[in-house]
A and B are shown apart, each in its own frame.
Chain A
Protein backbone atom coordinates (compact mmCIF):
# COMPACT_ATOMS: atom_id res chain seq x y z
CA UNK A 1 0.00 0.00 0.00
CA UNK A 2 2.92 2.28 0.74
CA UNK A 3 6.49 1.70 -0.33
CA UNK A 4 9.65 3.76 -0.42
CA UNK A 5 13.02 2.84 -1.88
CA UNK A 6 16.02 4.89 -0.87
CA UNK A 7 13.84 7.95 -0.41
CA UNK A 8 15.95 11.05 0.10
CA UNK A 9 15.21 14.71 0.46
CA UNK A 10 17.78 17.44 0.84
CA UNK A 11 17.19 21.15 1.34
CA UNK A 12 20.39 22.65 0.02
CA UNK A 13 23.21 21.37 2.19
CA UNK A 14 20.87 19.89 4.79
CA UNK A 15 19.51 16.38 4.33
CA UNK A 16 16.11 15.92 5.97
CA UNK A 17 15.51 12.31 4.94
CA UNK A 18 18.20 9.94 3.74
CA UNK A 19 17.86 6.63 1.98
CA UNK A 20 14.57 5.65 3.61
CA UNK A 21 13.23 2.26 2.60
CA UNK A 22 9.85 1.19 3.97
CA UNK A 23 7.07 -1.16 3.01
CA UNK A 24 3.71 -0.74 4.73
CA UNK A 25 0.89 -3.16 4.09
CA UNK A 26 -2.87 -2.66 3.92
CA UNK A 27 -4.48 -2.19 7.32
CA UNK A 28 -1.15 -1.61 9.02
CA UNK A 29 -0.44 1.27 11.40
CA UNK A 30 3.21 2.18 11.07
CA UNK A 31 4.57 4.55 13.70
CA UNK A 32 7.24 7.03 12.65
CA UNK A 33 9.24 7.87 15.75
CA UNK A 34 12.03 10.34 15.98
CA UNK A 35 13.10 13.61 17.57
CA UNK A 36 12.21 16.99 16.12
CA UNK A 37 13.94 17.41 12.77
CA UNK A 38 14.26 13.67 12.26
CA UNK A 39 12.49 13.84 8.91
CA UNK A 40 9.04 12.55 9.89
CA UNK A 41 7.04 15.47 8.54
CA UNK A 42 9.23 15.70 5.46
CA UNK A 43 8.55 12.02 4.78
CA UNK A 44 4.80 12.59 5.09
CA UNK A 45 5.01 15.61 2.82
CA UNK A 46 6.89 13.67 0.18
CA UNK A 47 4.40 10.81 0.32
CA UNK A 48 1.51 13.32 0.09
CA UNK A 49 3.15 14.84 -3.01
CA UNK A 50 3.63 18.18 -1.30
CA UNK A 51 7.40 17.96 -1.63
CA UNK A 52 9.40 16.19 -4.33
CA UNK A 53 12.10 13.74 -3.28
CA UNK A 54 15.65 14.54 -4.33
CA UNK A 55 16.47 10.85 -4.48
CA UNK A 56 14.85 7.43 -4.39
CA UNK A 57 11.31 6.44 -5.26
CA UNK A 58 8.00 5.90 -3.52
CA UNK A 59 4.58 4.49 -4.26
CA UNK A 60 1.34 5.23 -2.43
CA UNK A 61 -1.80 3.19 -3.06
CA UNK A 62 -0.18 1.85 -6.21
CA UNK A 63 0.65 5.28 -7.61
CA UNK A 64 4.18 6.55 -8.14
CA UNK A 65 5.11 9.65 -6.17
CA UNK A 66 6.13 12.45 -8.50
CA UNK A 67 4.32 10.93 -11.48
CA UNK A 68 0.74 10.55 -10.31
CA UNK A 69 0.40 13.34 -7.77
CA UNK A 70 -3.29 13.99 -8.38
CA UNK A 71 -4.20 10.32 -7.94
CA UNK A 72 -2.16 10.11 -4.73
CA UNK A 73 -3.73 13.23 -3.26
CA UNK A 74 -7.14 11.74 -3.90
CA UNK A 75 -6.18 8.45 -2.25
CA UNK A 76 -4.55 9.95 0.83
CA UNK A 77 -5.99 11.65 3.89
CA UNK A 78 -3.70 13.87 5.90
CA UNK A 79 -3.89 15.28 9.39
CA UNK A 80 -1.29 17.98 9.63
CA UNK A 81 0.57 18.81 12.81
CA UNK A 82 -1.44 22.01 13.34
CA UNK A 83 -4.88 21.35 11.90
CA UNK A 84 -5.88 24.68 10.40
CA UNK A 85 -9.49 25.56 9.63
CA UNK A 86 -11.41 28.53 8.34
CA UNK A 87 -12.36 29.77 11.77
CA UNK A 88 -15.22 32.02 10.76
CA UNK A 89 -16.95 29.27 8.81
CA UNK A 90 -19.05 26.60 10.44
CA UNK A 91 -17.90 23.10 11.20
CA UNK A 92 -20.13 21.72 8.47
CA UNK A 93 -19.05 24.31 5.86
CA UNK A 94 -15.38 23.62 6.53
CA UNK A 95 -15.83 19.93 6.03
CA UNK A 96 -18.09 20.33 2.99
CA UNK A 97 -15.46 22.56 1.37
CA UNK A 98 -12.85 19.83 1.58
CA UNK A 99 -15.34 17.13 0.57
CA UNK A 100 -16.10 19.13 -2.58
CA UNK A 101 -12.43 19.75 -3.32
CA UNK A 102 -11.81 16.01 -3.06
CA UNK A 103 -14.70 15.40 -5.46
CA UNK A 104 -16.80 13.37 -2.99
CA UNK A 105 -19.95 12.35 -4.94
CA UNK A 106 -22.51 13.34 -2.27
CA UNK A 107 -20.64 15.82 -0.09
CA UNK A 108 -23.52 16.70 2.24
CA UNK A 109 -24.19 13.06 3.10
CA UNK A 110 -20.49 12.35 3.54
CA UNK A 111 -20.12 15.35 5.82
CA UNK A 112 -23.06 14.30 7.97
CA UNK A 113 -21.76 10.73 8.21
CA UNK A 114 -18.31 11.80 9.36
CA UNK A 115 -19.51 14.50 11.73
CA UNK A 116 -21.85 12.00 13.35
CA UNK A 117 -19.10 9.43 13.59
CA UNK A 118 -16.80 11.87 15.34
CA UNK A 119 -19.51 13.27 17.59
CA UNK A 120 -19.57 16.70 15.98
CA UNK A 121 -22.98 16.70 14.32
CA UNK A 122 -24.57 18.72 17.12
CA UNK A 123 -21.89 21.38 16.67
CA UNK A 124 -22.19 21.49 12.87
CA UNK A 125 -23.54 25.07 12.73
CA UNK A 126 -20.94 26.49 15.12
CA UNK A 127 -18.02 28.49 13.85
CA UNK A 128 -14.78 26.52 14.13
CA UNK A 129 -13.36 29.37 16.22
CA UNK A 130 -15.67 28.29 19.05
CA UNK A 131 -14.42 24.68 19.17
CA UNK A 132 -11.99 23.40 21.78
CA UNK A 133 -8.66 22.01 20.64
CA UNK A 134 -9.89 18.45 21.14
CA UNK A 135 -12.96 19.05 18.99
CA UNK A 136 -10.84 20.69 16.31
CA UNK A 137 -8.64 17.64 16.27
CA UNK A 138 -11.70 15.47 15.78
CA UNK A 139 -12.78 17.73 12.94
CA UNK A 140 -9.32 17.38 11.45
CA UNK A 141 -9.73 13.61 11.56
CA UNK A 142 -13.11 13.97 9.84
CA UNK A 143 -11.46 16.08 7.17
CA UNK A 144 -8.72 13.50 6.67
CA UNK A 145 -11.39 10.83 6.22
CA UNK A 146 -14.16 12.63 4.37
CA UNK A 147 -13.12 11.29 0.94
CA UNK A 148 -12.65 7.75 2.30
CA UNK A 149 -8.91 7.50 1.65
CA UNK A 150 -7.17 4.15 1.78
CA UNK A 151 -4.03 5.69 3.23
CA UNK A 152 -3.86 8.11 6.15
CA UNK A 153 -0.98 10.26 7.30
CA UNK A 154 -1.44 11.44 10.87
CA UNK A 155 1.14 13.91 12.11
CA UNK A 156 1.14 14.18 15.92
CA UNK A 157 -2.63 13.53 16.21
CA UNK A 158 -2.76 13.80 20.00
CA UNK A 159 -0.24 16.58 20.45
CA UNK A 160 -1.45 19.16 22.98
CA UNK A 161 -4.69 17.35 23.77
CA UNK A 162 -5.98 16.66 27.26
CA UNK A 163 -5.84 12.97 28.31
CA UNK A 164 -9.52 12.36 27.60
CA UNK A 165 -9.43 13.88 24.11
CA UNK A 166 -6.17 12.06 23.38
CA UNK A 167 -7.76 8.77 24.42
CA UNK A 168 -10.74 9.41 22.12
CA UNK A 169 -8.44 10.15 19.20
CA UNK A 170 -6.36 7.04 19.88
CA UNK A 171 -9.47 4.89 20.04
CA UNK A 172 -10.59 6.31 16.74
CA UNK A 173 -7.21 5.66 15.11
CA UNK A 174 -7.26 2.03 16.23
CA UNK A 175 -10.68 1.68 14.56
CA UNK A 176 -9.20 2.83 11.27
CA UNK A 177 -6.90 -0.16 11.02
CA UNK A 178 -9.94 -2.38 11.43
CA UNK A 179 -11.31 -0.75 8.29
CA UNK A 180 -8.24 -1.94 6.37
CA UNK A 181 -6.88 1.57 6.07
CA UNK A 182 -3.14 2.02 6.10
CA UNK A 183 -1.97 4.58 8.63
CA UNK A 184 1.38 6.32 8.91
CA UNK A 185 1.46 7.80 12.40
CA UNK A 186 4.10 10.39 13.27
CA UNK A 187 4.38 10.77 17.01
CA UNK A 188 6.62 11.64 19.91
CA UNK A 189 4.35 9.76 22.25
CA UNK A 190 5.99 6.38 22.79
CA UNK A 191 3.17 4.80 24.75
CA UNK A 192 0.81 5.87 22.00
CA UNK A 193 3.04 4.26 19.39
CA UNK A 194 3.27 1.12 21.48
CA UNK A 195 -0.49 0.99 21.89
CA UNK A 196 -1.49 1.69 18.30
CA UNK A 197 1.23 0.64 15.93
CA UNK A 198 1.78 -2.74 14.38
CA UNK A 199 5.34 -1.69 13.57
CA UNK A 200 7.55 1.22 14.49
CA UNK A 201 10.14 2.93 12.34
CA UNK A 202 12.66 4.91 14.34
CA UNK A 203 13.94 7.74 12.22
CA UNK A 204 16.74 10.19 12.63
CA UNK A 205 17.19 11.40 9.08
CA UNK A 206 18.01 7.76 8.33
CA UNK A 207 16.05 4.72 9.38
CA UNK A 208 17.56 3.47 12.64
CA UNK A 209 15.22 0.61 13.41
CA UNK A 210 12.07 -0.94 12.03
CA UNK A 211 10.16 -3.63 13.87
CA UNK A 212 7.10 -4.36 15.98
CA UNK A 213 7.08 -2.63 19.39
CA UNK A 214 7.44 -6.00 21.13
CA UNK A 215 10.33 -7.11 18.94
CA UNK A 216 12.09 -3.80 19.42
CA UNK A 217 11.82 -4.09 23.19
CA UNK A 218 12.87 -7.73 23.13
CA UNK A 219 15.81 -7.04 20.90
CA UNK A 220 17.09 -4.28 23.13
CA UNK A 221 16.05 -5.37 26.59
CA UNK A 222 17.21 -9.01 26.36
CA UNK A 223 20.81 -7.95 26.30
CA UNK A 224 21.06 -6.42 29.77
CA UNK A 225 21.08 -8.19 33.16
CA UNK A 226 21.55 -6.89 36.67
CA UNK A 227 23.36 -8.98 39.26
CA UNK A 228 22.82 -8.16 42.95
CA UNK A 229 26.00 -8.86 44.95
CA UNK A 230 26.51 -9.36 48.67
CA UNK A 231 30.19 -8.37 48.47
CA UNK A 232 30.56 -5.88 45.57
CA UNK A 233 34.11 -5.32 44.33
CA UNK A 234 35.40 -3.40 41.30
CA UNK A 235 37.17 -6.52 40.02
CA UNK A 236 33.84 -8.19 39.38
CA UNK A 237 33.22 -5.64 36.64
CA UNK A 238 36.74 -5.43 35.25
CA UNK A 239 38.05 -9.01 35.47
CA UNK A 240 35.17 -10.99 34.00
CA UNK A 241 37.14 -11.85 30.87
CA UNK A 242 34.20 -13.39 29.04
CA UNK A 243 33.76 -13.06 25.30
CA UNK A 244 29.98 -12.91 25.70
CA UNK A 245 30.15 -9.88 27.97
CA UNK A 246 29.94 -6.61 26.06
CA UNK A 247 30.26 -4.34 29.04
CA UNK A 248 29.85 -4.28 32.81
CA UNK A 249 29.39 -1.50 35.34
CA UNK A 250 29.25 -1.70 39.11
CA UNK A 251 27.04 0.72 40.97
CA UNK A 252 26.61 0.09 44.68
CA UNK A 253 25.78 -3.57 45.02
CA UNK A 254 24.37 -3.81 41.47
CA UNK A 255 26.48 -5.11 38.65
CA UNK A 256 24.92 -4.32 35.27
CA UNK A 257 26.18 -6.54 32.48
CA UNK A 258 25.43 -6.41 28.76
CA UNK A 259 25.48 -9.83 27.19
CA UNK A 260 24.77 -11.14 23.71
CA UNK A 261 22.27 -13.86 24.62
CA UNK A 262 21.04 -13.95 28.22
CA UNK A 263 19.70 -17.54 28.04
CA UNK A 264 23.11 -18.79 27.04
CA UNK A 265 25.35 -16.30 28.79
CA UNK A 266 23.83 -15.76 32.26
CA UNK A 267 24.85 -19.19 33.68
CA UNK A 268 28.38 -18.63 32.37
CA UNK A 269 28.41 -15.17 33.91
CA UNK A 270 27.24 -16.39 37.31
CA UNK A 271 29.81 -19.21 37.29
CA UNK A 272 32.57 -16.75 36.49
CA UNK A 273 31.46 -14.34 39.21
CA UNK A 274 31.49 -17.14 41.77
CA UNK A 275 34.99 -18.10 40.59
CA UNK A 276 36.04 -14.49 41.25
CA UNK A 277 34.66 -14.76 44.79
CA UNK A 278 31.37 -12.97 44.34
CA UNK A 279 28.37 -13.82 46.47
CA UNK A 280 25.42 -13.58 44.08
CA UNK A 281 22.11 -12.69 45.66
CA UNK A 282 19.93 -12.33 42.55
CA UNK A 283 20.08 -12.02 38.77
CA UNK A 284 17.43 -9.98 36.92
CA UNK A 285 16.79 -9.33 33.30
CA UNK A 286 16.00 -5.68 32.85
CA UNK A 287 12.38 -5.05 31.91
CA UNK A 288 12.52 -2.00 29.66
CA UNK A 289 9.97 0.23 28.12
CA UNK A 290 9.80 1.35 24.54
CA UNK A 291 11.05 4.68 25.81
CA UNK A 292 14.27 3.04 27.02
CA UNK A 293 14.66 1.38 23.65
CA UNK A 294 14.00 4.62 21.83
CA UNK A 295 16.47 6.56 23.93
CA UNK A 296 19.08 3.85 23.40
CA UNK A 297 18.50 4.00 19.68
CA UNK A 298 18.74 7.75 19.64
CA UNK A 299 21.84 7.74 21.76
CA UNK A 300 23.40 4.78 20.00
CA UNK A 301 23.14 6.25 16.62
CA UNK A 302 23.36 4.77 13.29
CA UNK A 303 22.86 1.07 13.25
CA UNK A 304 20.80 -0.17 10.38
CA UNK A 305 17.38 -1.72 10.88
Chain B
Protein backbone atom coordinates (compact mmCIF):
# COMPACT_ATOMS: atom_id res chain seq x y z
CA UNK B 1 0.00 0.00 0.00
CA UNK B 2 2.89 2.35 0.79
CA UNK B 3 4.44 2.02 -2.65
CA UNK B 4 1.07 2.47 -4.32
CA UNK B 5 0.58 5.74 -2.41
CA UNK B 6 4.08 6.89 -3.37
CA UNK B 7 3.35 6.21 -7.04
CA UNK B 8 -0.04 7.95 -7.04
CA UNK B 9 1.22 11.06 -5.21
CA UNK B 10 4.17 11.44 -7.57
CA UNK B 11 1.90 11.09 -10.59
CA UNK B 12 -0.44 13.80 -9.32
CA UNK B 13 2.46 16.09 -8.51
CA UNK B 14 3.75 15.66 -12.02
CA UNK B 15 0.36 16.01 -13.68
CA UNK B 16 -0.28 19.24 -11.78
CA UNK B 17 2.79 20.71 -13.44
CA UNK B 18 1.30 20.16 -16.90
CA UNK B 19 -1.12 22.98 -17.56
CA UNK B 20 -2.73 21.24 -20.51
CA UNK B 21 -3.60 18.24 -18.37
CA UNK B 22 -4.91 20.35 -15.48
CA UNK B 23 -7.00 22.59 -17.71
CA UNK B 24 -8.18 19.56 -19.69
CA UNK B 25 -9.32 17.82 -16.52
CA UNK B 26 -11.05 20.92 -15.11
CA UNK B 27 -12.61 22.38 -18.25
CA UNK B 28 -15.20 19.69 -18.88
CA UNK B 29 -16.58 19.52 -15.30
CA UNK B 30 -16.90 23.28 -15.21
CA UNK B 31 -18.57 23.32 -18.62
CA UNK B 32 -21.00 20.49 -17.87
CA UNK B 33 -21.75 21.78 -14.39
CA UNK B 34 -22.28 25.26 -15.80
CA UNK B 35 -24.58 23.99 -18.56
CA UNK B 36 -26.62 21.94 -16.10
CA UNK B 37 -26.93 24.92 -13.78
CA UNK B 38 -27.88 27.22 -16.68
CA UNK B 39 -30.59 24.78 -17.73
CA UNK B 40 -32.10 24.78 -14.26
CA UNK B 41 -31.84 28.56 -14.08
CA UNK B 42 -33.70 28.84 -17.36
CA UNK B 43 -36.47 26.60 -16.02
CA UNK B 44 -37.09 28.51 -12.83
CA UNK B 45 -40.56 29.53 -13.96
CA UNK B 46 -41.55 26.12 -15.30
CA UNK B 47 -43.91 23.72 -13.48
CA UNK B 48 -42.28 21.28 -11.04
CA UNK B 49 -42.77 18.32 -13.43
CA UNK B 50 -40.95 20.18 -16.18
CA UNK B 51 -38.18 21.11 -13.78
CA UNK B 52 -37.81 17.43 -12.86
CA UNK B 53 -37.39 16.63 -16.57
CA UNK B 54 -34.65 19.23 -16.82
CA UNK B 55 -32.84 17.59 -13.91
CA UNK B 56 -33.16 14.32 -15.77
CA UNK B 57 -31.25 15.74 -18.70
CA UNK B 58 -28.74 17.42 -16.44
CA UNK B 59 -27.99 14.08 -14.82
CA UNK B 60 -26.78 12.77 -18.15
CA UNK B 61 -24.12 15.45 -18.21
CA UNK B 62 -22.80 14.07 -14.96
CA UNK B 63 -22.56 10.61 -16.49
CA UNK B 64 -20.38 11.88 -19.31
CA UNK B 65 -17.94 13.52 -16.90
CA UNK B 66 -16.48 10.45 -15.21
CA UNK B 67 -15.53 8.97 -18.58
CA UNK B 68 -14.10 12.12 -20.10
CA UNK B 69 -12.15 13.50 -17.15
CA UNK B 70 -9.76 10.55 -16.70
CA UNK B 71 -8.85 10.19 -20.37
CA UNK B 72 -6.28 13.01 -20.27
CA UNK B 73 -4.86 11.86 -16.95
CA UNK B 74 -4.64 8.17 -17.87
CA UNK B 75 -3.18 8.86 -21.31
CA UNK B 76 -0.47 11.12 -19.98
CA UNK B 77 0.28 8.77 -17.10
CA UNK B 78 1.24 6.04 -19.57
CA UNK B 79 2.45 7.97 -22.61
CA UNK B 80 4.44 10.33 -20.35
CA UNK B 81 6.44 7.40 -19.00
CA UNK B 82 7.21 6.31 -22.54
CA UNK B 83 8.15 9.77 -23.72
CA UNK B 84 10.50 10.35 -20.81
CA UNK B 85 12.05 6.88 -20.90
CA UNK B 86 11.14 6.20 -17.28
CA UNK B 87 9.43 2.87 -17.76
CA UNK B 88 12.51 0.70 -17.35
CA UNK B 89 13.77 2.38 -14.16
CA UNK B 90 10.25 2.13 -12.79
CA UNK B 91 9.98 -1.54 -13.68
CA UNK B 92 13.32 -2.19 -11.99
CA UNK B 93 11.93 -1.12 -8.61
CA UNK B 94 10.26 -3.56 -6.22
CA UNK B 95 6.81 -2.39 -7.37
CA UNK B 96 4.70 -5.40 -8.31
CA UNK B 97 3.01 -5.55 -11.71
CA UNK B 98 -0.32 -5.14 -9.97
CA UNK B 99 0.86 -2.06 -8.05
CA UNK B 100 2.02 -0.40 -11.27
CA UNK B 101 -1.30 -1.11 -12.93
CA UNK B 102 -3.44 -0.15 -9.93
CA UNK B 103 -1.39 3.00 -9.29
CA UNK B 104 -1.74 4.20 -12.85
CA UNK B 105 -5.49 3.50 -12.78
CA UNK B 106 -6.09 5.22 -9.45
CA UNK B 107 -4.22 8.31 -10.61
CA UNK B 108 -7.06 8.90 -13.06
CA UNK B 109 -10.05 7.24 -11.37
CA UNK B 110 -9.88 9.14 -8.06
CA UNK B 111 -9.88 12.70 -9.51
CA UNK B 112 -12.51 11.68 -12.00
CA UNK B 113 -14.97 10.47 -9.37
CA UNK B 114 -14.03 13.28 -7.00
CA UNK B 115 -14.60 15.98 -9.60
CA UNK B 116 -17.86 14.43 -10.79
CA UNK B 117 -19.26 14.22 -7.28
CA UNK B 118 -17.90 17.65 -6.41
CA UNK B 119 -19.48 19.33 -9.44
CA UNK B 120 -22.70 17.40 -8.87
CA UNK B 121 -22.81 18.66 -5.28
CA UNK B 122 -22.27 22.24 -6.47
CA UNK B 123 -25.02 21.75 -9.00
CA UNK B 124 -27.46 20.55 -6.34
CA UNK B 125 -26.58 23.46 -4.05
CA UNK B 126 -27.01 25.95 -6.90
CA UNK B 127 -30.31 24.35 -7.95
CA UNK B 128 -31.54 24.43 -4.38
CA UNK B 129 -30.71 28.13 -4.16
CA UNK B 130 -32.27 28.95 -7.55
CA UNK B 131 -35.48 26.94 -7.13
CA UNK B 132 -35.84 27.16 -3.40
CA UNK B 133 -35.58 23.36 -3.19
CA UNK B 134 -35.00 20.24 -5.28
CA UNK B 135 -38.08 19.07 -7.23
CA UNK B 136 -39.77 15.98 -5.79
CA UNK B 137 -38.69 12.69 -7.33
CA UNK B 138 -35.31 13.93 -8.52
CA UNK B 139 -33.11 12.57 -5.75
CA UNK B 140 -34.62 9.09 -6.11
CA UNK B 141 -32.86 5.74 -5.79
CA UNK B 142 -32.15 5.49 -9.57
CA UNK B 143 -30.74 9.04 -9.52
CA UNK B 144 -28.47 8.37 -6.59
CA UNK B 145 -27.43 5.02 -8.05
CA UNK B 146 -26.56 6.76 -11.29
CA UNK B 147 -24.29 9.19 -9.51
CA UNK B 148 -22.79 6.91 -6.91
CA UNK B 149 -22.65 3.55 -8.76
CA UNK B 150 -22.69 4.30 -12.48
CA UNK B 151 -20.20 7.17 -12.22
CA UNK B 152 -17.41 5.08 -10.67
CA UNK B 153 -18.12 2.24 -13.12
CA UNK B 154 -17.94 4.68 -16.01
CA UNK B 155 -14.74 6.21 -14.63
CA UNK B 156 -13.13 2.78 -14.39
CA UNK B 157 -14.28 2.03 -17.92
CA UNK B 158 -12.80 5.26 -19.27
CA UNK B 159 -9.51 4.68 -17.47
CA UNK B 160 -9.16 1.08 -18.61
CA UNK B 161 -9.86 2.00 -22.22
CA UNK B 162 -7.37 4.87 -22.03
CA UNK B 163 -4.68 2.67 -20.46
CA UNK B 164 -5.13 -0.06 -23.04
CA UNK B 165 -5.00 2.44 -25.90
CA UNK B 166 -2.01 4.28 -24.40
CA UNK B 167 -0.01 1.11 -24.00
CA UNK B 168 -0.20 0.62 -27.76
CA UNK B 169 0.90 4.05 -28.90
CA UNK B 170 3.52 6.62 -28.04
CA UNK B 171 1.54 9.42 -29.66
CA UNK B 172 -0.60 11.20 -27.06
CA UNK B 173 -2.89 12.72 -29.69
CA UNK B 174 -3.73 9.32 -31.14
CA UNK B 175 -4.25 8.00 -27.62
CA UNK B 176 -6.66 10.84 -26.78
CA UNK B 177 -8.63 10.29 -29.96
CA UNK B 178 -9.06 6.55 -29.53
CA UNK B 179 -9.69 6.86 -25.80
CA UNK B 180 -12.46 9.33 -26.55
CA UNK B 181 -14.49 6.38 -27.81
CA UNK B 182 -14.85 5.35 -24.18
CA UNK B 183 -17.53 8.01 -23.81
CA UNK B 184 -19.97 5.93 -25.88
CA UNK B 185 -21.41 3.88 -22.97
CA UNK B 186 -22.24 7.06 -21.10
CA UNK B 187 -24.13 8.34 -24.11
CA UNK B 188 -26.35 5.26 -24.29
CA UNK B 189 -28.65 6.26 -21.40
CA UNK B 190 -28.75 9.80 -22.74
CA UNK B 191 -29.97 8.51 -26.09
CA UNK B 192 -32.40 6.06 -24.48
CA UNK B 193 -33.89 8.71 -22.25
CA UNK B 194 -34.09 11.22 -25.07
CA UNK B 195 -35.76 8.82 -27.49
CA UNK B 196 -38.17 7.26 -25.00
CA UNK B 197 -38.76 10.50 -23.15
CA UNK B 198 -38.59 8.49 -19.99
CA UNK B 199 -37.26 9.52 -16.63
CA UNK B 200 -34.27 7.85 -15.02
CA UNK B 201 -35.49 4.46 -13.88
CA UNK B 202 -34.04 1.68 -11.84
CA UNK B 203 -34.21 -0.93 -14.59
CA UNK B 204 -32.08 1.08 -17.00
CA UNK B 205 -29.58 2.04 -14.32
CA UNK B 206 -29.18 -1.58 -13.19
CA UNK B 207 -28.97 -2.75 -16.81
CA UNK B 208 -26.24 -0.29 -17.69
CA UNK B 209 -24.46 -1.00 -14.40
CA UNK B 210 -24.50 -4.73 -15.21
CA UNK B 211 -23.16 -4.16 -18.72
CA UNK B 212 -20.40 -1.92 -17.37
CA UNK B 213 -19.40 -4.52 -14.76
CA UNK B 214 -19.02 -7.13 -17.52
CA UNK B 215 -17.13 -4.73 -19.81
CA UNK B 216 -14.86 -3.59 -16.98
CA UNK B 217 -14.11 -7.18 -16.00
CA UNK B 218 -13.10 -7.97 -19.58
CA UNK B 219 -10.98 -4.82 -19.86
CA UNK B 220 -9.38 -5.50 -16.48
CA UNK B 221 -8.42 -8.99 -17.62
CA UNK B 222 -6.76 -7.54 -20.73
CA UNK B 223 -5.11 -4.69 -18.84
CA UNK B 224 -3.61 -6.95 -16.17
CA UNK B 225 -2.11 -9.13 -18.91
CA UNK B 226 -0.75 -6.03 -20.59
CA UNK B 227 0.81 -4.67 -17.42
CA UNK B 228 3.27 -7.52 -16.96
CA UNK B 229 6.85 -6.31 -16.94
CA UNK B 230 7.92 -8.43 -19.84
CA UNK B 231 4.95 -7.33 -21.88
CA UNK B 232 5.70 -3.67 -21.16
CA UNK B 233 9.36 -4.01 -22.11
CA UNK B 234 8.93 -6.07 -25.23
CA UNK B 235 5.51 -5.21 -26.66
CA UNK B 236 4.67 -1.66 -25.67
CA UNK B 237 5.36 0.86 -28.38
Which residue numbers of A lie inside 8 Å of B, CB to CB?
A: 11, 45, 48-52, 70, 73-74, 76, 78, 80, 82-89, 93, 97-98, 100-103, 143
Contact = CB atoms under 8 A, between A and B. Distances in A.
Contacts of B3: 100-101, 103
Interface residues of B, number: 27
B87 interface: yes
B7 to A, nearest CB: 7
B86 A86 contact: yes
Contacts of B17: 88-89
Contacts, number: 75
B121 to A, nearest CB: 31
A143 B89 contact: yes
B88 interface: yes
A143 B84 CA distance: 16
B45 interface: no
B26 to A, nearest CB: 18
B95 A51 contact: no
A50 B91 contact: yes
Given A78-B92, A80-B89, 16 more contacts: A50-B88, A50-B229, A51-B230, A52-B230, A73-B94, A84-B84, A84-B85, A84-B86, A85-B84, A86-B10, A86-B14, A97-B10, A98-B93, A100-B3, A101-B7, A103-B94
15 contacts: A45-B233, A51-B230, A51-B234, A80-B89, A80-B92, A84-B89, A87-B84, A88-B14, A88-B17, A97-B10, A100-B2, A100-B3, A101-B90, A101-B93, A101-B95
Interface of B: 2-3, 6-7, 10, 13-14, 17-18, 81, 84-96, 229-230, 233-234
B94 A74 contact: yes
B128 to A, nearest CB: 41
Contacts of A74: 94
A85 B94 CA distance: 18
Contacts of A76: 92
Contacts of A88: 14, 17-18
B82 to A, nearest CB: 9
Contact of A93 (B13, B86, B92, B96): B13
The binding surface of chain A is classed by DSSP as: loop
Nearest to B10: A97
Contacts of A84: 81, 84-89
* 4 smallest beta-carbon distances between A and B, as pairs: A84-B85, A84-B86, A101-B93, A100-B6
B234 A80 contact: no
Contacts of A86: 10, 14, 84, 86
Given A45-B233, A88-B18, A101-B3, A73 B93 contact: yes
Contact of B6 (A70, A80, A89, A101): A101
B96 to A, nearest CB: 7
A104 to B, nearest CB: 11
Given A50-B230, A89-B17, A97-B10, A70 B89 contact: no
A302 to B, nearest CB: 27
A73 B92 contact: yes
Contacts of B2: 100, 103
Nearest to B18: A88
A78 B233 contact: no
Contacts of A98: 89, 93
A76 B91 CA distance: 12
A125 to B, nearest CB: 14
A237 to B, nearest CB: 51
